[in-house]
Structure 1
Amino acid sequence: MNVILNLLLAVQILTALGMIGLILIQHGKGADMGAAFGSGGSGSLFGASGSANFLSRTTAVLASVFFVCTLALAYFGNYRAPESGSVLDRAAAPAAAPASVPAGPAAQIPGTSVPAPGSAPAPVAPASGAGQIPTK
């Protein structure tokens, strides 16, 4: 799976660089008027109109490959292996409660106990009359 992702990413980067190069090479619409009157268009490799057709078709092919690679990378990026049961079955199943193992500094002090998660704390008894209201 990782090899496929790396291959798709390499193809996408190469097509992006190819598109950038082809787009920069192409002439704008204003350059067509100059080519029609013979100003430098006749000395090109593809002729006056052949280069526009070749470059635009190649750019369209590279854009399609780039789009397909982007969709494939998005699909594989969100792909999760199917698990047994449906989403509703997994949501209805109660989560397993962790064992009540004391953690933290209180677990290292002898004679102290840490209440189990989810239980109410035990009431603390006042020591020898502390906290009582004196009466007359």
Structure 2
Amino acid sequence: METVILVVHVLLAAAIIALVLLQQGKGAEAGASFGGGASQTVFGSRGSGNFLGKLTALFAAILFATSFGLAFFAKERASSVFDAGIPSATLIESAAERVEELPALEVQRSNDSDIPTAQ
């Protein structure tokens, strides 16, 4: 189910980008994106602006819904990881112990460098 919502989410995002790019600015000539007066016959007398605007708003609303769905699945996945029996305090303590096991980095400094050192 999560994969289906993710695919729909990505397709909606691409569709919104395409719809925004197809729309005209306020100062643009009528029908510029469709060539001449074609927008008057395809989308009615008001042109494509109203249709594309409503379609963009619809796709944006569905995109928000899919975002909430994906957030729900992410929350469920995160809570199932923490419910697996590994408390966060134990996890932090074990990581702190493992840091002490790491070998120390030996730094060799040369005094013949042109870069001054702070003392």
Give the TM-score normalised by structure 1.
0.48
Where structure 1 has 5 or more consecutive residues not aligned to the other structure, the ranges are 84-89, 91-136
Select the structure of larger CA radius of gyration: 1
1:25 CA drift (Å): 0.4
**Are 1:21 and 2:18 an aligned pair?**
yes
Partner of 1:93: none
Per-residue displacement from partner, 1:36-76 (whole Å, max 9, x unpaired)? xxxx4x33222452311110000001001111101110111
User: How many equivalent residue pairs?
Assistant: 75
1:54-133 equivalences under 5 Å are 54-79=51-76, 80=79
Partner of 1:43: 38
Q: Quote the Cα distance in structure 1 between the aligned partners of 2:44 and 2:24.
A: 13
Q: Quote the Cα distance in structure 2 between the aligned partners of 1:43 and 1:12.
A: 31
- Structure holding more helix per residue: 2
**Are 1:9 and 2:9 an aligned pair?**
no
Runs of 4+ in 1 over 4 A off after TM superposition: none
- AA at the equivalent of 1:16: A
Where structure 2 has 5 or more consecutive residues not aligned to the other structure, the ranges are 31-35, 88-119
Per-residue displacement from partner, 1:2-35 (whole Å, max 9, x unpaired)? xx1101100000100110111100001111xx43
Provide the identity percentage: 40
Give the TM-score normalised by structure 2.
0.54
